[in-house]
């Protein structure tokens, strides 16, 4: 079983023909509400591949929270450990899109109400997990508590350091895998990539978008190429990668196999609109794998 500790947001997506200037009101031409939040996205990614997934997070007592939880349940994600805050609304991301550019405002809301006490209340769930996935869109002290609890229980952690500003380098000794992209890696470490990879063999996996991912296997540097495809919406590609990587590792695949599998899953995810909309099933990943000749 995989347990995901992280954020749940409702994405409010507005498409327009121009960004408004200060004080200006304009007309948009499309609006959608789309389930999001890195925690929820990674839960869906792993569950759609067939993992037994539980989600720990916090939403408000509002319609957005109800919709997000119902959507996870439809994906067979266990939502029993999701807290419903009486004091904060469900988190939202207001996304303005114009000419393939976007501007995003995130209001964390109830995500920042997830406390160490909520992690402690889910201790048994975490202890029986085969892997825990964590991102950084929740309070830093809650992340630290979850890492300590997992360490005591001997449960491996896959940590996706987004946003990178919330990462504490002291956590490196206690996690099994860290999956930053190149920008996040530079913000966290400010060291040459090759040197970093050798410093954290089989732990630091740097994602490169369509170029795949890199890590160091203890002897040689490894580059797992990406799969070239025509992208419709790259939102959620990283979340798909992380959910798929956790799935593959829990299923007993080697790190090399798991990263390759996660790359294929991510390539499928960008071919449809929205973060969760394109996340593939296991059958779809194997179909793409067969098409590559692997």
Which listed residue (80, 194, 239, 256) is catalytic?
Answer: 239
- Answer yes or no: is 255 a known binding residue: no
Assign 278 to helix, strand or coil.
Answer: coil
Q: Do residues 73 and 55 lie in contact, with contact meaning Cβ atoms separated by under 8 Å?
A: no
131 is in an annotated binding site: no
168 is in an annotated binding site: no
**Residue 109 in marked binding region:** no
**Annotation-wise, does 207 bind a ligand?**
yes
Instruction: Kindly give, in sequence order, each residue whose CB lies less than 8 Å from that of residue 86, ignoring residues fewer than 6 positions away.
Output: 61
Instruction: Tell me how far apart the alpha carbons of residues 75 and 45 are, in angstroms, rounded to a whole number.
Output: 9
239 marked as part of a ligand binding site: yes
Does the active-site annotation cover 239?
Answer: yes
Ramachandran assignment for 293, one of left (phi > 0), alpha (psi -120 to 50 degrees), beta (any other)? left
Tell which residue, 89, 156, 100, 104, has the closest CA to residue 126.
Answer: 156
Q: CA-based angle 1:238:32, to the nearest 5? A: 100
Determine whether the annotation assigns residue 191 to a binding site: no
Could you tell me the two tokens for 34? 């789309």
The answer on whether 111 is annotated among ligand-binding residues is no
Query: Is 137 annotated as belonging to a binding site?
Result: yes
In the annotated binding site for ATP, the residues are 181, 207-212, 238-239, 263
Where in the sequence numbering do the catalytic residues fall? 239
In the annotated binding site for K(+), the residues are 233, 235, 269, 272
In the annotated binding site, the residues are 9-11, 37-41, 137, 181, 207-212, 233, 235, 238-239, 263, 269, 272
In the annotated binding site for substrate, the residues are 9-11, 37-41, 137, 239
């Amino acid at each position: 079983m995989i347990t995901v500790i992280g954020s749940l947001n409702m994405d409010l997506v507005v498409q327009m023909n121009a960004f408004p200037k200060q004080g200006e009101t304009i007309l948009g031409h499309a609006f959608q509400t789309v389930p999001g939040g890195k925690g929820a996205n990674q839960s869906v990614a792993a569950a759609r591949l067939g993992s037994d997934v539980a989600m720990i997070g916090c939403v408000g007592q509002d319609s957005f929270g109800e919709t997000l939880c119902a959507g996870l349940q439809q994906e067979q994600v266990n939502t029993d450990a999701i807290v419903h805050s009486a004091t904060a609304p469900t988190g939202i991301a207001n996304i303005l899109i114009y000419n393939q550019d976007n501007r995003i405002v995130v209001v964390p809301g109830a995500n920042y109400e997830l406390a160490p006490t909520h992690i402690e209340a889910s201790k048994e769930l975490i202890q029986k997990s085969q892997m825990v996935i964590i991102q950084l869109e929740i309070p830093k002290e809650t992340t630290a508590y979850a890492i300590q609890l997992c360490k005591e229980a001997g449960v491996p952690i896959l940590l996706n350091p987004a946003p990178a500003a919330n990462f504490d380098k002291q956590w490196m000794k206690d996690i099994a895998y860290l999956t930053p992209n190149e920008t996040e890696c530079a913000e966290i470490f400010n060291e040459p990539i090759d040197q970093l990879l050798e410093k954290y063999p089989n732990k630091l996996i740097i994602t490169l978008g369509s170029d795949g991912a890199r890590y160091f296997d203890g002897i040689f540097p490894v580059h797992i190429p990406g799969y070239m495809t025509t992208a419709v919406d790259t939102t959620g590609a990283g979340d798909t990668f992380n959910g798929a990587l956790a799935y593959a590792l829990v299923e007993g695949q080697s790190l090399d196999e798991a990263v390759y599998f996660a790359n294929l899953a991510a390539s499928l995810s960008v071919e449809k609109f929205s973060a969760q909309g394109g996340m593939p099933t296991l059958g779809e990943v194997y179909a793409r794998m067969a098409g590559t000749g692997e």
